[in-house]
Structure 1
Amino acid sequence: MGQSFVDRNRLWARLNGAVAAHGTPLPTPTMVVDLDAFDANADDLVRRAGGKPVRVASKSLRVPALLERALDHDGFDGVLAYTLREALWLHEHDLADDIVVAYPTVDRGALADLVGSPSAAAHITLMIDDRAHLDLVDSVRASLAVPIRIAIDIDAGLRVGGQHVGPKRSPLWDVAAVVGLARTVEARGGFRLVGAMTYEGQVAGLPDQLPGQRTRSMVLRRMKTLSLSQLQERRGEIDEALRQVASLEFWNAGGSGSVEESAHDPIVTEVSAGSGLLVPTLFDHYASFRPHPASYFGVPVVRRPSPQVATVHGAGLVASGAAGADRLPTPWAPAGLRLTGLEGAGEVQTPVTGPPASLLRIGDLVWFRHAKSGEPFEHTATVHLLQGDSFVDSVPTYRGLGLAF
């Protein structure tokens, strides 16, 4: 997957040309989103969803203008937020009128703001997987006048041979546990059960066409097939039981890496996607789709310690998750550069080597791709939007607006 060496060198010229034409110097790291690729990815996600709405995962963007752009695409509807405070901010600023908080919250201050606002409570759905989450809501409110919308997060992992494969999220796996919590919600005053979520991260988040790893790729694809089969059967059983308790408005599932598979399940009413809009390196090498990289950051060469090495300032934007080489940013343009084994990607300096290094001069920009989507924008106030060969806008990130969710 990805761009050829020729494409990457053309990208290098395109990005550098846009920077040169900007007129005023841009601070580094210079964060860029290619709107042509972003829009193509949005259209492809809608196609893959097969008519089911795509809820945009804000954690993978963290730029209000990009959230709005995604929601302006036909086929996108609603936001999957990552904190309640973010959801409240999105509602307050009219960026979305249907916001599901993807993770349970224990932020009492944010919960107090939610229960104190009939408007926010009508448009924001809280995620729970334990009755303790309901207790927290009750602990901050004085009355039941404003009902709180609730969705239940159900473990979507694969269970085989006594092992669990998948994200360690909800404790709710079997039908009885899910229905028990659903009955608790419905029996308790001031709450309304409106949705369910099953995030099959072991399908959506794992590339399965790894270069030079044919056997591992085959094992991963087999695991995904088994996981989806087991989940579809279990989701049907849970849905049938839940219908005896409440009438759900939505059943959310999937992520950018499993849009088609999740949407294929008739129980699922909507899918989520965010990383598939920007396409970080962890979303390279999927067998099921070929998205277009859309997000880059540029850092300047500041040293030439040897003819074979160029050292750039910074670039140490390392992704969250289990530590490993795949969490490091990738020098992408010009093509053929690589990090060194000793220093990797450093906070203040990053040496790169490879054939193009000998051609780089002090002041030249090297463009990197991040391993995860959204996370690099925590390190900048501004993202520059590229369309064609020019920057058409510069927009604030959450950080640029003084927000830290």
Structure 2
Amino acid sequence: MPDETLRARLDAATKQLEAPLAIVDLDAFDRNADDLVRRAAGRPIRIASKSVRVRHLIERVLRKDGFAGVMAYSLPEALWLAHGWAGGDLADVDILVAYPTVDHTALRELAADDHARGLVTIMVDSVAHLDIVDAALGTGHPEIRVCLELDVAWRPVFGRDIAHVGTRRSPVFTPAQARALATEIRDRSGFRLVGLMGYEGQIAGLGDQPAGKPLMGAVLRWMQDRSAHELAARRAEAVHEIKKVADLEFVNGGGTGSIETTGFDQSVTEVAAGSGLVGPTLFDNYRRFTPAPAVLFALPVVRKPRKRTATLFSGGYIASGPAGKDRTPTPYLPTGLSLIATEGAGEVQTPVNGRAAKDLRVGDRVWLRHTKAGELAERFTEYHVLTGDRVTATVPTYRGEGQCFG
């Protein structure tokens, strides 16, 4: 339960600013960064940029010990970051694009930029992705760095795709399939295989202690434990097989929710994390860690239709993923407010109910948290930086810099 003194601090610090607004509590953000480094236990952390989407904050983290590299979510984003850092102290930051690209324009830009081409690695999981590059660039194109993605979901029925627990990503599941694709990449002119990546979403993205659901928590922990042990053996074998045909610079694994279990796998050389910096509600239900809510947004009260109801302006900031209550924003301060089931968070208004609504007046603010870390930055052009009790800076989000990468 948040301390109500926090609300007074937030309101006082932002009283000259118009709501809706978003803030990043820099003290909480830095504590979260330090906790990620502690949990990684010596492995470098590659920042998942989609969970931040604010260049100022990404740069701040990259300058901290324990963090190295960026995991971008699109090739145009990776190129934009690389160009922005060229000539500065972050000029040599390597950038892994976490999802395959079919963007011919961005591929041509990558091929034409010697500096970016030495830093940016694109993702592949099939020969079709190599064909896309060749189609965009023609034959005899400069060498493109590529990373092979391994499907690291759990298939409990003898490893067969009868039951698939995890995200649907790469078609490469077995070590033999990984070696076969690695061989194709090695033998294909214009490509260099430098990495292997696997995101265990069934561990990293599912809280193992859901509130009020102890039985579900026990089932999740059982599944995650078995999945982690199966994966450690399979990924290590895949790395062994790939190294027979190519030298790997890195093996990336994990996410904010799986840093500890990913760390058991000695074949992994680095972990990815981003949401743990922000502390969205999606990460409230883990036993191993508790990130502080570092990014909050405020909506103004614009109506009081009844004593225990306050209507807020805007607020329909629904998170991606399976549609459901756990994807809606959560009223945070004052405590004791909840969304109305029949309306939820709306495009132009969000009514909230609860005892605390009695004391709210038109013009007051309600502070909320988003379900996912980076998606709030798609709704705001800027974050106000709170240091202690004062707003000390205002920094643009990707949107605020005129960038939208999907």
Residue 196 of structure 1: aligned partner = 196
Task: Check the 8 A contact 1:382/1:400 in 2, yes or no.
Answer: yes
- Asked if 1:84 is matched to 2:75, the reply is yes
Q: Deviations over 1:21-48 (max 9, x none)?
A: xx4x33x320111110100000000010
- Asked if 1:144 is matched to 2:135, the reply is no
Give the whole-Å Cα distance in 2 for the aligned partners of 1:19 and 1:239. Answer: 51
Secondary structure of the structure 2 residue equivalent to 1:222: helix
Residue 260 of structure 2: aligned partner = 260
More divergent stretch after superposition (148-157 vs 136-145): 136-145
Residue 385 of structure 1: aligned partner = 385
Give the whole-Å Cα distance in 1 for the aligned partners of 2:113 and 2:133. Answer: 13
- Asked if 1:246 is matched to 2:246, the reply is yes
Residue 210 of structure 2: aligned partner = 210
Q: How does 1:359-370 map to 2 (within 5 A)?
A: 359-370=359-370
Q: CA deviation at 1:142?
A: 4.3
Residue 106 of structure 1: aligned partner = 102
Secondary structure of the structure 1 residue equivalent to 2:342: coil
- Asked if 1:220 is matched to 2:220, the reply is yes
**Is there any run of 5+ residues in structure 2 with no aligned partner, and where?**
none
Q: Deviations over 1:190-226 (max 9, x none)?
A: 1100000011000000011112111100000010000
- Asked if 1:18 is matched to 2:13, the reply is yes
Secondary structure of the structure 2 residue equivalent to 1:251: strand
Secondary structure of the structure 2 residue equivalent to 1:318: coil
Residue 399 of structure 2: aligned partner = 399
Q: Deviations over 1:29-77 (max 9, x none)?
A: 2011111010000000001001000000000011000100111111000
Secondary structure of the structure 1 residue equivalent to 2:14: helix
Q: Which amino acid aligns with 2:66?
A: G
Give the whole-Å Cα distance in 1 for the aligned partners of 2:338 and 2:6. Answer: 17
Q: Which amino acid aligns with 2:251?
A: W
Q: How does 1:299-338 map to 2 (within 5 A)?
A: 299-338=299-338
Q: Which amino acid aligns with 2:372?
A: K
Q: How many residues align?
A: 396
Q: Which amino acid aligns with 2:370?
A: H
Secondary structure of the structure 1 residue equivalent to 2:164: strand
Task: Check the 8 A contact 1:299/1:365 in 2, yes or no.
Answer: yes
Residue 50 of structure 1: aligned partner = 41
Q: CA deviation at 1:140?
A: 2.0
Residue 163 of structure 1: aligned partner = 163
**Normalised by the size of structure 2, how large is the TM-score?**
0.96
- Asked if 1:117 is matched to 2:108, the reply is no
Q: Deviations over 1:269-324 (max 9, x none)?
A: 00000000001101101011121111100010000001111101011101011100
More divergent stretch after superposition (91-100 vs 264-273): 91-100
Secondary structure of the structure 2 residue equivalent to 1:219: helix
Task: Check the 8 A contact 2:283/2:290 in 1, yes or no.
Answer: no
Give the whole-Å Cα distance in 2 for the aligned partners of 1:139 and 1:114. Answer: 14
Q: Deviations over 1:215-271 (max 9, x none)?
A: 100000010000000000101111111111111000000000011111221100000
More divergent stretch after superposition (82-91 vs 172-181): 172-181
Task: State the identity %.
Answer: 51
Aligned-pair RMSD on alpha carbons?
Answer: 1.0
Task: Check the 8 A contact 2:281/2:371 in 1, yes or no.
Answer: yes
More divergent stretch after superposition (66-75 vs 139-148): 139-148
Q: Deviations over 1:84-133 (max 9, x none)?
A: 00000000011562000000000111011111112111100000001111
Secondary structure of the structure 2 residue equivalent to 1:331: strand
Residue 182 of structure 1: aligned partner = 182
Task: Check the 8 A contact 2:232/2:264 in 1, yes or no.
Answer: no
Residue 274 of structure 2: aligned partner = 274
The correspondence for 1:73, drawn from 52, 56, 64, is 64
Task: Check the 8 A contact 2:316/2:347 in 1, yes or no.
Answer: yes
Q: Which amino acid aligns with 1:44?
A: D
Q: Which amino acid aligns with 2:8?
A: A
Task: Check the 8 A contact 2:49/2:72 in 1, yes or no.
Answer: yes
